[in-house]
Amino acid sequence: MSSYLFAPADIRGVSFRNRVAMSPMCMYSCFAKDGKATPWHVAHYASRAVGGVGLVLTEATAVAPEGRISDEDLGIWSDEHIDGLRDVAAACRDAGAKVGIQLAHAGRKSQAVGRALAPSAVPFADGYRTPVAMSEADVAAAVAAFREGAARAKRAGFDVVEIHAAHGYLLNEFLSPLANRRDDRYGGGREGRFRMLGETIQSVREAWDGPLFLRLSLDEYAEGGNAMEDFVWYARRAKALGVDLIDCSTGGVVPARVDAYPGYQVPYAERIRREADIAVGAVGLIAEPEFAEHLVRAGRADFVFLGRELLRNPYWPLHAAKALRAEAPVPRQYARGWA
């Protein structure tokens, strides 16, 4: 029987050779602290493209300097970032993968220079700064920064944009009652808490007509956080505003212990797919080819995102395709190694 994992996919006219995606992972490797991509980034991402993934999704890339998690994050807040990112995108595409960029703002979890911004002046945890509660002008500036980031991503040659609204960073902070204590139109009930993310999606869509992914944390692992029915509601709204796929992660809004095991986040993806009627990515300790195949075949996910497994084994897709008796996306130059 032919593989579902290694079957091509199409989103908004962009064709992916298979449904294996490299999950975004910060490399903290802009040692000049200027947000510019380096030879490390090109080699690192191109290696996974050579290894056969359908989509390389680059790490959280800050739309504003104060939106970096650390000073060594990638950035896209200036035109000066475009050339380095273009090298990353070109190297991945040359190796047959599609390439996406994760646009991010770290909010109150930023430990970079500058002020930490958040919906409310509530720190994430001990050891973190008390953030500045954003004014409406600050919100408008951040929303515009996401649009400008998307416009630069287009100029750099990316195929996919993902908005990072997970893991307790800025957009997640606005969504969550655990971090958003505002009483203006950006807070309160879920309509208000969704407002900034909704405006961000619309703003990105003004500059970006390609596939648009959205990463959400679908469990806050704490009393008083969003419930699954809230996330289904957010996902439906996001779809109506032009999001094509929800990348289904969990956690990070408040410190919490998580009992993680292979596929632990799959039930969230499944539910969003079913109830919001939108494509989803499943992620979290997925490493077995048969399990990844099952997720797509059983209709539990449309894409399978791999993080740490691809740090260990950039050639995972080639080995997985062999194990599943699918046609492996072997680079022509390496054919003799896989004959």
Ligand X SMILES: Cc1cc2nc3c(=O)[nH]c(=O)nc-3n(C[C@H](O)[C@H](O)[C@H](O)COP(=O)(O)O)c2cc1C
**Smallest gap, in angstroms, from Cβ of residue 273 to ligand X?**
17
Query: What are 254's strand-pairing partners?
Result: none
Nearer to ligand X, 12 or 308 (CB): 308
- Cα 158 to its chain centre, rounded Å, is 14
Nearer to ligand X, 27 or 122 (CB): 27
Residue nearest to ligand X (CB): 307
Could you give the C-alpha distances from 306 to 71, 253, 282, 294, 316, in angstroms and in order? 25, 22, 9, 15, 9
Please tell me the distance from the alpha carbon of residue 25 to that of residue 123, in angstroms, as a whole number: 24
The secondary structure of 184-244 as a DSSP string is: STTSSSHHHHHHHHHHHHHHHHHH--S-EEEEEE----STTS--HHHHHHHHHHHHHTT--
Please tell me the distance from the alpha carbon of residue 87 to that of residue 99, in angstroms, as a whole number: 11
List contacts with ligand X (CB under 6 A): 23-26, 59-60, 102, 164, 166-167, 215, 249, 283-286, 306-309
Under DSSP, the state recorded for 119 is S
- Would you say 149 and 104 are in contact if contact means Cβ atoms under 8 Å apart? no
**Smallest gap, in angstroms, from Cβ of residue 228 to ligand X?**
19
**Smallest gap, in angstroms, from Cβ of residue 135 to ligand X?**
27
Nearer to ligand X, 9 or 74 (CB): 74
Nearer to ligand X, 307 or 329 (CB): 307
**Which residues does 324 contact at the CB level (< 8 Å), separation at least 6?**
3, 5, 6, 289, 290, 293
The amino acid at 41: H
Nearer to ligand X, 66 or 330 (CB): 66
**Smallest gap, in angstroms, from Cβ of residue 124 to ligand X?**
16
Nearer to ligand X, 48 or 164 (CB): 164
**Smallest gap, in angstroms, from Cβ of residue 286 to ligand X?**
6
**Smallest gap, in angstroms, from Cβ of residue 197 to ligand X?**
15
Nearer to ligand X, 74 or 196 (CB): 74
**Smallest gap, in angstroms, from Cβ of residue 252 to ligand X?**
9
Query: Maximum CA pair distance of the chain?
Result: 64
Nearer to ligand X, 62 or 318 (CB): 62
Could you give the C-alpha distances from 316 to 91, 217, 322, 323, in angstroms and in order? 19, 26, 10, 10
Helix (H, G, I), strand (E, B) or coil at 326: coil
**Smallest gap, in angstroms, from Cβ of residue 333 to ligand X?**
27
